[in-house]
Homo-oligomer: A and B are copies of this chain.
Amino acid sequence: MPLLVMKFGGTSVADLARIRNAAQKVKSEVERGYDVIVIVSAMSGKTNELVGWVNETSPMYDAREYDAVVSSGENVTAGLMALTLQEMDVPARSWQGWQVPIQTTSQHGAARFQDIPRANLDAKFAEGFRVAVIAGFQGVSAEGRITTLGRGGSDTTAVAFAAAFDAERCDIYTDVDGIYTTDPRITSKARKLDKISFEEMLELASLGAKVLQTRSVELAMRYKVRLRVLSSFDDTDELSGTLVCDEDEIMESKVVSGVAYSREEAKLTLVTVEDRPGIAAAIFGPLSEAGVNVDMIVQNISEQNYKGREKPVTDMTFSCPVEQVARARKALETARDAGTISYDALEIDEDAAKVSVVGIGMRSHAGVAARMFRALADEGVNIKVIATSEIKISVLIDRKYMELAVQALHDAFELDKAG
């Protein structure tokens, strides 16, 4: 029988009425002829309550005990979902991670999948069970301890099951009805996309469109799992939402698919750094160790004998989230004090935001960058830093222009128009 994976997030199973609503959607798919693997999150708020207790008990907690405690929220939802389906005459049972067993590494709190053996679930499907309800976000280590995948891990659980069981599709039910060309709160012209490629979704996910966890998209791309993002509060029973799929499935893609943004960015510039092999490693190694997520990096053209110096020097600019600026400053000053790097000054601009245009069509279309810069210039928006990848162009600008820039780019690339 064809198989579907359906994942319901915390708001979609927040109480018994919502669990029933979700179960109804599962039943519809069973009636269409699918066997279904359902992945559930904890009822919304439950995981936060458990995490709160752990943190209050033990600020430097043993991650193995953390996992044992916080994984219990998903176990409750899984059992309740199985019971709800049984009430609807759908043969179902729940599975906790260790029962499948979902084998993971022993990195507690951030475990990674190693194997999802099919035997146990396949045997139940063969017996006539139509639905396996799986507690998301968890697994079991080789040592027999409960592991968790980190927050948002239920998306990843869903994709991993879809890959392991050759699912026709993996439906991610959430509280938004799909992926938009940009944030509808910034422009009412934002339009829901019917389809988007894995690559584009990855860029959008990591850029702040918080609908899907980045890791789950990576995994879906690797195993070519077709992902559908849709709302659990939309009661039309037709296919809706946005399909995240291989670009081969997208016939006519636009040059740009979406405009993403990240509001709280900072720009840091190390002035007059010695320009020698290994200097980048000497700067960014300590930042990484300090937990600073460096994003864009620009190294100015180095000028031999700059200001009469004997050694070549350069300026090094990078961006990171504003909240990490203090940590970044400390890491750099420590490195300077230790003599591993030298610089004349550290300039910090905490009033930046990042705006990006994303689209696989860029690969075959020239002139996207020029069109982007023109649109920003027409609105009088100054660009501080530019960074590009194969399918993305990002700029750092003054934060106060962020909404304006998003709107201008959405118009310039005609994202309000389909096709």
Q: Which residues does A use to contact B, with CB under 8 Å? A: 16, 19, 50, 53-54, 56-58, 61-62, 64-66, 68-69, 72-73, 75-76, 78-80, 82-84, 86-87, 93-94, 96, 98-99, 144-146
Contact = CB atoms under 8 A, between A and B. Distances in A.
Contacts of A62: 82-83, 86, 93
Contacts of A146: 96
A82 B94 contact: no
A58 B84 contact: yes
A179 to B, nearest CB: 33
Nearest to A88: B58
B87 A57 contact: yes
A273 to B, nearest CB: 44
Contacts of A50: 76
A99 B144 contact: yes
User: What's the number of copies of this chain in the assembled complex?
Assistant: 2
A23 B145 CA distance: 22
A75 B83 contact: no
Given A53-B16, A64-B93, A93-B64, A76 B83 contact: no
A145 B79 CA distance: 12
Contact of A65 (B68, B79, B145): B79
A53 B93 CA distance: 17
A69 B58 contact: no
A68 B53 CA distance: 22
A380 B233 CA distance: 70
A142 to B, nearest CB: 13
A83 B99 contact: no
B96 A83 contact: no
Given A80-B69, A93-B64, A94-B65, A87 B58 contact: yes
Given A87-B57, A98-B98, A75 B68 contact: yes
Nearest to A145: B99
Contacts of A87: 57-58
A69 B65 contact: no
Nearest to A143: B99
A66 B94 CA distance: 10
B98 A57 contact: no
Nearest to A15: B53
A76 B57 CA distance: 12
A80 B76 CA distance: 18
Give 9 nearest A-B pairs by CB, closest first: A69-B79, A68-B79, A58-B83, A72-B72, A65-B79, A57-B83, A65-B83, A65-B82, A72-B75
A65 B53 contact: no
Contact of A72 (B56, B65, B76): B76
A78 B72 CA distance: 11
A87 B79 CA distance: 32
A261 to B, nearest CB: 39
Nearest to A77: B69
A192 to B, nearest CB: 33
B80 A53 contact: yes
A86 B69 contact: no
Contact of A54 (B61, B80, B96, B145): B80
A324 to B, nearest CB: 28
B98 A83 contact: no
Contacts of A86: 58, 61-62, 65
Contacts of A82: 62, 65, 68
A78 B62 CA distance: 13
A77 B214 CA distance: 32
7 contacts: A16-B56, A54-B79, A54-B83, A61-B86, A62-B86, A64-B93, A66-B79
Nearest to A49: B76
Contact of A57 (B19, B56, B94): B19
A195 to B, nearest CB: 37
A58 B88 CA distance: 10
Given A62-B83, A86-B65, A57 B144 contact: no
